[in-house]
Chains A and B, each alone.
Chain A
Amino acid sequence: MAEDRRVLTGEHFLSGDHACAEGGMAAGCMFFGGYPITPSTEIAERMSERLPEVGGIFIQMEDELASMNSILGASWGGWKSMTCTSGPGFSLMMENLGLGVVLETPTVLVNIQRGGPSTGLPTLSGQADMMQAKWGSHGDYEIIAVAPNSPQEIFDFTVKAFNLSELYRVPVLVMSDESVGHMTEKVVIPPADKLGVVSRRFTKKKPGEYLPYEFGEDEIPDMVKAGDGYRIHVTGLTHDKRGYPVIDAETQDWMVRHLINKIQKNKRKIIEVEEINMDDAEVVIVSYGISSRVAHRGMDLAREQGIKVGMLRLIVVWPFCDYIIRELAEKVKAFVTVELNFGQIALEVERCAGGKAGCYLVPHAGGDVHNPEDILEVIKEAAK
C-alpha cells in the first residue's frame, strides 16, 4: 500500500473534522469502526476514503456500542484504532469505554460535542459532556482527555491522543466541539519524522513468561497481540496480573488502584496547559476548546480596561491539573471558568481552589458560543 499517503505533509485548508481524521492517519491509525452522527460524521467519511489508501480498514458498524467494541478488538489484533461520535453516541460508547479501561486497551475516541441532553442540538455546539468524559462509565477509573480549540489543534491533539493511549494503555478521549469540528482553517501537517509518533510497547518476554497485567515502576504493563502465541486471557471482570478473574475485595483493590495510579502517578507528564498573560494576572480565566477562543477576546477587553487578567487554557483536561489550580489559588484573586455548560470543569476549579480564591462561572447552555461582553462582565465582578 501507498505508505506515502499516510501523512499528507504540507499546508491545507481543512475543517476540524477532516483535520481530526488526518491526525488519526498521521498517528498510524489502521482501523476505524464508527456510526454516523452529526456533527462528527465527516471524520468517519474522510477515514472511509483515507484508510484503504494505506491498507487500513474502515467499517460502519450497526451502532455506537458495536463501534466502541470493534476498535477495542482491532487494538488487541495489533492495530491502532479509533472512532468518533457526538451526543447520544457518546452515551452509548460509555459501556465499553469501561471495558477498554479495564482491559487496558490503547485506542482513541473523538467526541465532537453538540448541545444536549438527549438529541439536543445535533448541528450546534456544546461542551456539556466533560464530566461524562471523566465519569461516564460505571465504576472507578482514570481517563485521559484532550481539548483542541482549532483545526490545527485537533490534528495535533489527535496525534497526541494516540501517543498517550499507547504510553498509558488507556482509551484517550478527544473532547472537541461542533464549532471546532465544523470550522475551516489552515492546518500544517509536518513531515512524518517530525510527528513524534509513539509505537506500541510490545513485551520482549517469551510466551510462558509473560503475564498480561504484570507491570513495573511505571505501572504500565507491556502488551501483546492476539495470534502471537502468548495465549492470553483478558476479561472485563476484576482480574489479577494473569488476567484471570478473581472476585474478591483484595484483587479489586489491587486492580482499581492500578488503573488510577498509572494515570495519577504520571499526571505531571500527561497534563499540558497553556498560560496566557499570567505573569501579573490577578484574575485567571480557565477555559478550553472553542470557549477558550471566545474567552481570549473577553480577556483582551478586560485588559483594555486595565484589569490584570490571564488565562489558563486546558489542553489536557483529564486528568485535571489540580496542582496548578492549587498553586494559583494561593496568589490570585479569582478564577473565571468559561465553558459551554452550567458548570462542569468549574466544579473542579472550585474544588482545587479550596476557598482560597474566588470562583466564578460564565455559564452557557450551548447552541452558540459566549458573548465576549458577558465574559467581560464576570471578569469585572471577579476583579472587584
Chain B
Amino acid sequence: MNKTATPTATVSTDKLQHPMSDLLRMDRMPHIWCSSCGLGTGLTCFIMALRESGIDENDVAVVSGIGCTGRVAGYLNLDSFHTTHGRAIPFATGLALANPKLRVVVYSGDGDIVAIGGNHFIHSARRNMDIMVIVVNNFTYGMTGGQAGPTTPVTAKATTAPYGCFEYPFNVPYLAMAAGASYVARWTSLHMRRLKNSMAEALPKRGFRVIEIICPCPTAFARKNRLGTGLDLLKFYHDNSIIKHGADPKEADIGMSNKIICGKFVDEERPTFRDFLTQNVHEKLGG
C-alpha cells in the first residue's frame, strides 16, 4: 500500500502546493521543457496513475536514457536513474532482476528507445522482462534541435532532412507487439484521462509493457514542418485521433496527415523471464 505521507491539510495559502508535488523533485523546478511540449502532461498522467495504483512508491524505480524525455527520471521524487543514450532498458533489466520487489519503469523518447536503443527494446520485449516502457514519440530529436529520427514521418522536414524525410518510420506499437510485448497501448498527450488509466492499468501488471505517447514538439518538429503551436497540435490530435481498442497495430502507422490510431492493442499475460527462471531453474535446484 501507499506508505507516502499525504500532504498536510493545514497549509497556509502562501504555501499551497500541488497535491502530488511530493512525487516530484520540486527543488529542480522549473523544468527544461518548452512551453506547450507534451512531456509535462504525460508526466502528470504518470504520477496520477502511480498514486491511483496504490503501489508503494518506495518500490518504484524509473530509468531514463538521453534526450528531452530522458530528463523525466530527474524530476521524479522516486529512485531514478538517468543513464546513457539508448541504454535505459538494459540498465533497468539488471535493476529489475537484482531486486524483484522493484516496479521498474523506463521512461524515454522515441530516438532513445527505438533508434540507438532499438536492439535493447526488441530483445527485452522478446524476453518479456518485467519492465514498463513509456515511449514519448515527438517524431524528432528535440534536445539536439530537431533532427530526423526513426519515427519521423515520410516527407516531414528535419534539420538533417532538409528535403523531407524519405525513410519509412517505425510504427512503435507494431514493433512492440511483433517483438513480444505483453501490453501495448498508444495515446496522444491530449488523451490525459485515457493515458493515465492505461498507465494505472499497466503499472501493476508484469512482463514487458509499452505505452507510446504521441507528443507535440512545438519548438523543433512543429516549427520545421509549419504545424503551428503546441495548441494547434492538440487540436490536430483532437480532430485526427481514432480510438480503436484491439486494433491491429499493423494498421497504426503514422504519416503527416493520416489518422492517429489510439487505444490498447495488446494485453496478454504470458510467462516472464523471471517466471521461467523461478520455475525452470531456481525451483529445480531446490530454492
Contacts and interface: CB of A to CB of B under 8 A. Distances in A.
A245 B98 contact: no
B94 A69 contact: yes
A59 B82 contact: no
Interface centre among A55, A59, A66 (most CB of B within 10 A): A66
A206 B137 CA distance: 38
A72 B95 CA distance: 8
Contacts of B89: 66
A237 B97 contact: no
Contact of A72 (B25, B86, B94): B94
A77 interface: yes
A228 interface: yes
Nearest to B23: A231
B84 A244 contact: no
Interface in B35-79: 58-59, 61, 63, 73-74, 76-79
Contacts of A235: 73-74, 81-82
Interface string B11-42: 00000000000000100100000000000000
A96 B99 contact: no
B232 to A, nearest CB: 32
A77 B96 contact: yes
A233 B94 contact: no
B90 A65 contact: yes
B90 A69 contact: yes
B94 A228 contact: no
A225 interface: yes
Given A2-B286, A233-B74, A70 B102 contact: no
A31 B98 contact: yes
Contact of B95 (A76, A95, A98): A76
Q: Which 10 A-B pairs have the closest CB atoms?
A: A73-B94, A77-B98, A74-B94, A235-B82, A66-B90, A69-B90, A73-B95, A77-B99, A70-B94, A79-B98
22 contacts: A1-B286, A2-B286, A61-B90, A63-B119, A65-B86, A65-B90, A66-B87, A66-B93, A69-B90, A70-B90, A73-B92, A77-B96, A79-B99, A103-B81, A225-B99, A227-B59, A233-B80, A233-B82, A237-B82, A244-B28, A244-B74, A245-B74
Interface of A: 1-2, 30-31, 33, 52-53, 55, 57, 59, 61-63, 65-67, 69-79, 81, 95-96, 98-99, 103, 225-237, 244-245
Given A69-B90, A73-B95, A77-B97, 19 more contacts: A57-B97, A59-B97, A59-B273, A61-B123, A62-B90, A62-B123, A70-B91, A72-B91, A73-B91, A73-B93, A76-B81, A79-B99, A81-B98, A99-B84, A226-B61, A226-B79, A227-B59, A235-B82, A236-B82
Interface of B: 25, 28, 58-59, 61, 63, 73-74, 76-84, 86-87, 89-99, 101-102, 119-120, 123, 273, 277, 281-282, 285-287
